[in-house]
Homo-oligomer: A and B are copies of this chain.
Amino acid sequence: MTASITSLFGIELPIVQAPMAGVQDHRLAAAVCNAGGLGSLPAGLLSTGQLSTELAALKAATSKPFNVNFFCHVPPAPDPEREAAWRRALAPYYAELGIDPPPATSSGARRLPFNADAAAIVEAVRPAVVSFHFGLPAAELLARVHASGAKVVGCATTVEEARWLEAHGADAIVAQGLEAGGHRGIFLTKDLSTQLGTFALVPQVARAVRIPVLAAGGVADAAGVRAAMALGAAGAWAGSAYLLSDEATTSAPHRAAIASPAAAHTALTNLYSGGAARGIVTRLMRELGPIGSTPAFPFASDALAPLRAHAEKAGIGDFSPLWLGQNGSGCRTGPAARITRELAGAA
């Protein structure tokens, strides 16, 4: 019952480049679009001004349909006690690196959920596709996205979330298997034991909804895309496969880790943002345990920011989120256009 994802999005290949905040800008998106896939611009870490600038650059770089991705989490109330406990847990690292802990005010607000300003940008720019992570925005905001002409994509990590997204207006669904790198889109529960592997999630979601399903998590090459489509997916939502591409802005320590044996061991961790996300196991994850008592998403990142910046200057990724899925074997260097064609089996 899945409509063709290529006709729904107006693209040539059933390949979507997953939005990856922090490791890409408009250049990766444009390269994928120009190769016939759907490139994505992640807005989650951008200010309104930065987003407008990036979108202008994207439109200048491609005339093809593209996707803009937004977070739509419910920002938590700041919790000074958890913030203080988190800073205490990090105290040995501040001491080791000889830097001052950052002030205890939370600027995790950099990760803003989709709001009226963002809706206005969507109305002005009219992207072909708008995708959301952590559920969908409020009905009135979502109506503005639909009215702009954009197709709406939601991210499901369980069958229940897929049904919810379809019922609330999604035009397509990303079935994000547990293998996927980066943040889990989980939004109807906090219980990580509910998270399904791609092989179990995709066919169950494809049967549960009538809209097209894009498979995410472990889809690393053309064989993976064929397998996902055999399971009922209409196409692939591939992130890790692009992390080493020429156009990605993946940091030097991150690229080095992906190309090293360390990439074989990823884990879900909440240390970097407060939300569960999959990345290569780092010194921080090993020493504190990958799941800790951090402030709620997105506030955990503030206290880490100076440690991360200091270490990265020395080329060290100990305090950096080294997002990667469980199938890092799919990471290839080279132009994103070639990676896109390879994923589609059209190389």
Contacts and interface: CB of A to CB of B under 8 A. Distances in A.
A82 interface: no
A230 B226 contact: yes
Interface string A178-197: 11000000000000011011
Contacts of A197: 177-179, 197-199, 217-218, 326
Contacts of A327: 199-200, 203-204
Given A193-B290, A290-B193, A200 B218 contact: yes
A220 to B, nearest CB: 7
Nearest to A285: B193
A159 interface: yes
A159 B177 CA distance: 19
Contact of A231 (B178, B207, B224): B224
A325 interface: yes
B267 A200 contact: no
Interface string A258-282: 0000001111100000000000010
Contact of A219 (B193, B199, B207, B220): B199
A223 interface: yes
A184 to B, nearest CB: 13
Contacts of A329: 203-204, 207
Interface residues of A, number: 41
Nearest to A192: B267
A191 to B, nearest CB: 8
A112 interface: no
A228 interface: yes
Contact of A227 (B199, B204, B265, B266): B199
Contact of A230 (B178, B223, B264): B223
A232 interface: yes
21 contacts: A159-B264, A160-B264, A177-B197, A178-B197, A179-B200, A198-B200, A199-B224, A199-B227, A200-B218, A200-B326, A201-B326, A203-B223, A203-B224, A203-B329, A207-B329, A223-B230, A223-B231, A224-B230, A227-B228, A227-B230, A227-B231
